[in-house]
Structure 1
């Protein structure tokens, strides 16, 4: 089987949400690194087709293993069977550009706000406008983060951003936290 050239790289037939690619590059790189580490099931620094399929299944985004295998082969470095982090980043960028287009400068701010709102809604499972400790714990658990195993750890995470001390994170606190992450990343 021939590996497609850069112009012929196959497209994934999953329609991502607009937040597939956040517009803040430093936050996006941090997020992608965490996702890469979660998807790299055996921690060898490479995501295989099987690992990527398993991760997508856990997220409820099951995809055709043959299709995923073709994508992995098209983006894997020469001589490797899986994706290292730069290749994973390249695949993410290619899928985002193909499916979402490249944002114009004037659109970036509005899209960043929409990304924040959508990310907040992922955590705010009951839609009440607040992220409770149980909601945060549930989402962290679904994503496989060890922080989600301890309710005490989750409470501590909330307290670190809860400016009004109500025990929950509202959208304003969430935005401040996310912007703080973007600022705290070296090279941002």
Structure 2
């Protein structure tokens, strides 16, 4: 049995795709909703490093009792080899970037230091106990993880300090 093969070389496929996308029928394709996409990106900032989400976080050193130098590697958002984080009190609910545990308003946390432009992970938080205690003393498997409701609340929370980084990366003035 003989079947026809309709394979094209990659260059011909590329030209064919470009021709289809530039034709009048391409105007019927759905337009991306950039506003919605921006809201989703902002919401993700609060839960950037849930366990398994791709971020790797390592405490490099503790220069003094209220600061920590942290290496933050997230292939989808940002990479900071030696970012300074400062002890603080959570101003809103969220999720710990190291453990995935719920963070409530008023909890002792560490957050990235502010700067210009604001870091891409500016809304990330780490519970203070995961910075201040040795890693082997902590047993995150025994601690309650953030509930789906708490994760949704953290994801839908308005970003508090990231507007400057959005402006810096887009190169446009926000209106």
Give the TM-score, by structure 1 length.
0.27
Q: Compare CA radii of gyration and give the structure with the larger one.
A: 2
Instruction: Identify, as 1 or 2, the structure richer in helix.
Output: 1
Give the TM-score, by structure 2 length.
0.28
Instruction: Identify, as 1 or 2, the structure richer in strand.
Output: 2
